[in-house]
Amino acid sequence: MSEPAEERIYTVPLGRAWVVPRYRRAEKAVTVLRKFVQRHMKPEEVIIDPTVNEAIWARGITNPPRKIRVRLSKDDEGTVTVSLAEAEP
């Protein structure tokens, strides 16, 4: 993979995941994260790292976190990779 052209760290609020039924909250949290990335980075494609997905789903489908801190890395082709901010870049 190429070197990131741009890298930012965000705290993404996932509170909108609570407007759907309980059994869809984690799925909605992933969608909220993806839309946040699209709004702030204007990517061609969004790739969510498996560690981010595991962090959202760690407490089950009904209780995802209210917010998550992520690192967004955009490469020259316009692809944005979402990883946990605490993880090594």
pTM: 0.92
Render pLDDT for 36-54 as a digit per residue (tens, 0 to 9).
Answer: 999 999 999 999 999 999 9
Q: How far apart are CA 89 and CA 79, in angstroms?
A: 16
Torsion sign over Cα 8, 4, 50, 17:
positive
**pLDDT value of residue 84:** 96
Per-residue pLDDT band at 88 (split at 50, 70, 90): confident
- Using only the alpha carbons of the chain, give its radius of gyration: 13
Residues 16-24 have a mean pLDDT of 96
**2 pLDDT higher than 70:** no
**55 pLDDT higher than 90:** yes
Comparing CA positions, the residue from 71, 67, 77, 63 lying closest to residue 27 is 63
Domains of the chain: 6-84 (3.10.440.10)
**pLDDT value of residue 52:** 97
